[in-house]
Chain A
Amino acid sequence: MARIRKAVPGVDAKALIKDAGKLMPDASRRAFLRGAASLGALTMLTGCDIIDEDSAEGALRYVSRFNDRVQAFLFNPNKLAPTYTEADIKRPFPFNAYYDLDEAPTVDPATYKLEISGLADNKKPWTLDELHALPEVSQITRHVCVEGWSAIGSWQGAVLSDFLKRIGADTRARYLHFKCAEGYTETIDMPTALHPQTQMTFKFDNKILPRAYGFPMKIRIPTKLGFKQPKYVVAMEVTNVDRGGYWSNQGYNWFSGL
């Protein structure tokens, strides 16, 4: 649900993972530039020069960074996402990823540990039992996918900002970076991490998260698009370095706030 399946037609998902460090994987990069070329054809019609492809891409990336700053400015840390009732919950809630459900990672709860690193006083790894013992909150909110669809779901878990206090995280740091069991990564801004509805989620609809929804832990952020909300989270780092994320590295807007 947090990710996009087959958003890049014809691109092998495994190759995508290998390429995630680059700005964009080669295949979608080429595809993306074809888009720039078609705009070039368009500008020809209006009598302007053809836009140079690399500079068009550079300009678009520049504007996307600018849009990150605009969205950070628009983000109100006290503004809560609308909440809904039990009756509004979408059942079954959609599964969405760049892989099929049968390829979703299987995490062994017995050996699972949440690794903590970076700017935090207590970096002791957390077992699942310890995480489940954290005070539980619940929310029924709207999940909005970058593809455009949305679905209302019910998530239970611990308030992330409380957890950050508990581990003595330096909340003046700029980012929180997550690593996931299948290699997915995501980085979010600290103001969003400290938002009262941002949740370390262990349950969906009051039942332990099924594998499809990110067992054993997902980060639920009702103020961000779905792909910014990692599932199968195995490591959390408090950092001042933007380590990027699986999809934003490929061209989705980094902030992607709602």
Chain B
Amino acid sequence: MTAETMQASHSAAAPETIHPAWVRVCHWINALAILVMIGSGWQVYNASPLFSFTFPRAITIGEWLGGALLWHFAAMWVLVINGLVYVTLGLATGRFRRKLFPVGPRAVITDIKAALTFKLGHDDLSHYNAVQKVLYLGIILDGVLIVVSGISIWKPVQFQELTALFGGYDAARYVHFAAMAAIVAFLVVHISLALIVPKSLRAMVTGR
């Protein structure tokens, strides 16, 4: 937090801090937690598939349902606690407000067009374009959705009001799956762009 508030006054002198330490720590803890959640979640899914496919065992975690559930219900604490820290600091430091807002539909459309014609620059890593803003806002909201839908599947009696919000236990499973699919889709774009623009990856490791 302090690194970022300092950044405004010292940016001319020292190399600019793009991501303060708490963002980087939260990011990589989240990366590990979400990979474990997805990998174990796929194995859990395979025990009773919602659709006509299953996930290849080679890309799942836990090997059998019991093992996968142990991973899933352990990594959930890491995901949720880390997520709460991240959202709390994001709101408290004003980072979310500064980085993700304002974002309007017109800017998004302009930037999507620019992105599709490969004219959308990534030169200034400290400034997000409208497409980034929408994606990062979206993934934060999707993170909330996957946790809340997960809780409603885990505790459909104790938190039955929550489960009912999703249209019942079975519907909540589909919501949980859709939220996972959205994260995977985000990761495809996110990781591809991080590899295309390696300095963005470096910034998430070193902060600069």
Which A residues fall within an 8 A CB radius of B?
Answer: 4, 7-9, 24, 28, 31-35, 38-39, 42-43, 46, 48, 59-61, 63-64, 67, 74-76, 79, 81-82, 142, 144-150, 222-223, 247, 250-253, 257-258
Q: Is B207 interfacial (CB 8 A cutoff)?
A: no
Q: Is B67 interfacial (CB 8 A cutoff)?
A: yes
- Pick the most buried of B36, B74, B157: most chain A CB atoms within 10 A of its CB: B157
Instruction: Flag if A222 contacts B62 (CB, 8 Å).
Output: no
Given the known inter-chain contacts A42-B35, A46-B32, please indicate yes or no for A7 contacting B65, CB distance below 8 A: yes
Instruction: Flag if A32 contacts B63 (CB, 8 Å).
Output: yes
Given the known inter-chain contacts A28-B64, A250-B66, please indicate yes or no for A81 contacting B48, CB distance below 8 A: no
B92 to chain A, nearest CB (A): 27
Residues from chain B with a CB closer than 8 A to the CB of A149 are 48
Instruction: Flag if B169 contacts A28 (CB, 8 Å).
Output: no
- Pick the most buried of A35, A61, A67: most chain B CB atoms within 10 A of its CB: A35
Residues from chain A with a CB closer than 8 A to the CB of B39 are 38-39, 42
Contact with A along B70-92 (1 / 0, CB 8 A): 11011001000000000000000
The residues in B between 151 and 202 inclusive whose CB is less than 8 angstroms from any CB of A are 155-158, 160, 164, 169-170, 173
Instruction: With A67-B73, A253-B69 given, name 14 new contacts (CB 8 A).
Output: A4-B65, A24-B66, A31-B63, A35-B63, A39-B71, A42-B36, A82-B157, A82-B164, A145-B48, A147-B65, A149-B48, A247-B66, A251-B69, A258-B156
- The B contact surface, by secondary structure, is helix
| Number of cross-chain contacts by CB at 8 Å | 115
| CA A148 to CA B40, docked complex, whole Å | 14
Q: Is B45 interfacial (CB 8 A cutoff)?
A: yes
Residues from chain B with a CB closer than 8 A to the CB of A33 are 63
Q: Is B44 interfacial (CB 8 A cutoff)?
A: yes
Q: Is B68 interfacial (CB 8 A cutoff)?
A: yes
What are 19 A-B interface contacts by the 8 Å CB criterion? A7-B47, A7-B66, A8-B64, A31-B64, A35-B67, A39-B61, A39-B71, A42-B61, A43-B32, A63-B74, A64-B74, A76-B158, A81-B157, A142-B156, A146-B47, A148-B45, A247-B66, A251-B67, A257-B157
Instruction: Flag if A258 contacts B70 (CB, 8 Å).
Output: no
Instruction: Flag if A146 contacts B158 (CB, 8 Å).
Output: no
B149 to chain A, nearest CB (A): 13
Residues from chain B with a CB closer than 8 A to the CB of A63 are 70, 73-74, 77
Given the known inter-chain contacts A39-B61, A74-B158, A148-B48, please indicate yes or no for A60 contacting B66, CB distance below 8 A: no
A14 to chain B, nearest CB (A): 18
Q: Is B55 interfacial (CB 8 A cutoff)?
A: no
- Pick the most buried of B43, B67, B69: most chain A CB atoms within 10 A of its CB: B67
| CA A75 to CA B158, docked complex, whole Å | 7
